[in-house]
């Protein structure tokens, strides 16, 4: 599987170390508050489990399943909710856990949707951030890694549902997705 990568950007050890640092920030920022981590399926699952276990405060966890509308028919950034939250988030501090923020359209939709449920606060924590690709201004409070504009896989991020189980993060070889 690793041979399909052009380059490893971050090793498993680097990823775990960085997640612990971010978890430390989140634990001190949200101590004594009513925090729920909302992971966006499926990519954010690996990040969510590592992050949640590295926190030193008790938190609730929940999952949001989304499907982007197919290109061509799409209103950009409009998504369909395929699995809604189980927890009622009214009055809670919500931290959306994302695998990657790219153009930011998906996240803008999710933030607007969750806002209608009157949480106490909403914020975003992403595993990787492609800030140079942003089309809309999304407040990303926590980001583990800033990455260049290349297609990356691993640690939850997929290509055609594959490679999520890579323990590192890397740039996929062009011949894999051009074949």
- 28-57 residues in contact with ligand 5GP (CB under 6 A) are 43
Size of the site for ligand 5GP (CB under 6 A): 16
CB nearer ligand 5GP, residue 54 or residue 103: 103
By beta-carbon proximity to ligand 5GP, the closer residue of 41 and 57 is: 41
Q: How many CB atoms lie within 10 A of CB 156?
A: 25
CA distances from 1 to 64, 91, 146, 148, 156 (A): 28, 44, 24, 22, 14
Residue among 5, 9, 92, 105 that touches ligand 5GP (CB under 6 A): 105
Measured CA to CA, the distance from residue 171 to residue 8 in angstroms comes to 6
Cis link prior to 42 (omega < 30° from 0)?
yes
Catalytic residues: 102
Q: Is residue 103 within the footprint of ligand 5GP (CB under 6 A)?
A: yes
Return residues touching ligand 5GP (CB under 6 A): 43, 99-107, 151-153, 157-159
């Amino acid at each position: 599987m690793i041979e399909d990568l052009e380059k490893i950007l971050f090793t498993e050890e680097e990823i775990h170390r960085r997640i612990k640092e971010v978890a430390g920030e989140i634990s001190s920022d949200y101590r004594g508050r009513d925090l729920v981590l909302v992971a966006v399926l499926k990519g954010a699952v690996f990040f969510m489990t590592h992050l949640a276990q590295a926190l030193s405060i008790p938190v609730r966890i929940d999952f949001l399943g989304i499907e982007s509308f197919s290109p061509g028919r799409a209103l950009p950034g409009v998504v369909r909710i395929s699995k809604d939250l189980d927890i009622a988030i009214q009055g809670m501090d919500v931290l959306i856990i994302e695998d990657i923020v790219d153009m930011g359209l998906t996240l803008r939709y999710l933030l607007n949707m969750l806002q209608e449920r009157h949480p106490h606060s909403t914020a975003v924590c992403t595993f990787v951030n492609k800030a140079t690709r942003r089309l809309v201004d999304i407040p990303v409070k926590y980001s583990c890694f800033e990455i260049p504009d290349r297609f990356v896989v691993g640690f939850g991020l997929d290509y055609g549902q594959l490679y999520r189980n890579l323990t590192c993060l890397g740039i996929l070889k062009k011949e894999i997705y051009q074949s």
